[in-house]
Amino acid sequence: MKSKIDYTLYLCTDRKLMTTNTIEECVELAVIGGCTVVQLREKECSSLEFYNLALRVKEITDRYKVPLIINDRIDIALAVDAAGVHVGQSDLPPAVVRKIIGEDKILGVSASSLSEAVKAQEDGADYLGVGAMYSTATKTDAEIVTMEQLKEIRRAVDIPIVVIGGINKNTVCNFKGLGIDGLAVVSAVVAQKDISAASRELIKLFKDL
C-alpha cells in the first residue's frame, strides 16, 4: 500500500552542489533537520554506482522513516525497492512508468506548464514538481513558471504540488496562500554550511506561511 507522504521539505540531491559532505552525510543531516522526502538524482555515474549509492541512502532514509524517491531511473528504484520515482518531461512517459512500478509506488512528475500538469495527473502522477519557479544554478535551461501559472495549475489538479527551482529562505514567503504542499530544494539545503539548521528553518518558514 502506498502511504501518505508529507511533502513539506523535499530534498533533491545534487552531487555538484555539495562541497563538504558526501551524499549520504548530506541526506542524513537533512533528514535530522526534518526533511520529509529525499529524491536521489544521479546523471553521470554507472548503473552499478547509482545502485550502490541508492542502497546506502535508503539505509539512512529507512532508518528515519523518510521515503526515498529515485529520479528518472525506474530500474534503480525497483532494484533498491525505493518508495517511488520521479520523472521529468525527458524521461519515460508517466503512463508507461505507472505500468512498470504498479500502484503501490509513488510517481512524481515535473511540470512547467498547465498542460503538462494536467496530463501528468491524467497519466497517474501522485504528485507534481512544479517549476522552475526562479532561475537557478542547478538547471540553467529550465523553463520559468510564473506565479499566475502556478495558481492555474493548483486550480486544475488535485494531487499534491511541490514547487522547485530557486526555493530558499528568501523566496518561501512568495508561496503564501497558494495551496502548495511542499518545497523542493537543492542548494538551499545541500550547499549550506549547516544542513540540518537550513532544513529546520525552511520547514518553519513553510509552516508559518
Binding site residues, a copy of itself, CB under 8 A: 46-49, 51, 72-76, 78-79, 87, 89-93, 96-97, 100
Q: How far is the CB of 3 from a copy of itself (least distance, A)?
A: 22
**DSSP codes, 142-186:** PPPPPHHHHHHHHHH--S-EEEESS-STTTGGGGTTS---EEEES
Q: How far is the CB of 148 from a copy of itself (least distance, A)?
A: 28
13 or 71, CB closer to a copy of itself?
A: 71
**Smallest distance, Å, CB 48 to a copy of itself?**
5
User: Active site residue: 98, 105, 110, 199, which one?
Assistant: 110
Of 184, 185, 181, 176, the C-alpha closest to 205 is 176
11, 27 contact by CB (below 8 A): yes
Nearer to a copy of itself among residue 49 and residue 59 (C-beta): 49
Alpha helices for 33-109 (secondary structure H): 47-63, 74-79, 94-101
15 is catalytic: no
Active site residue 155: no
Q: Out of 139, 154, 169, 200, pick the active-site residue.
A: 139
Cis peptide before 132 (omega within 30 of 0): yes
* 193: annotated active-site residue: no
| Residue 65, C-alpha cell as written in the block | 522513516
For a copy of itself, give the closer residue by CB, 27 or 98: 98
**Which residues are the active-site residues?**
41, 110, 139
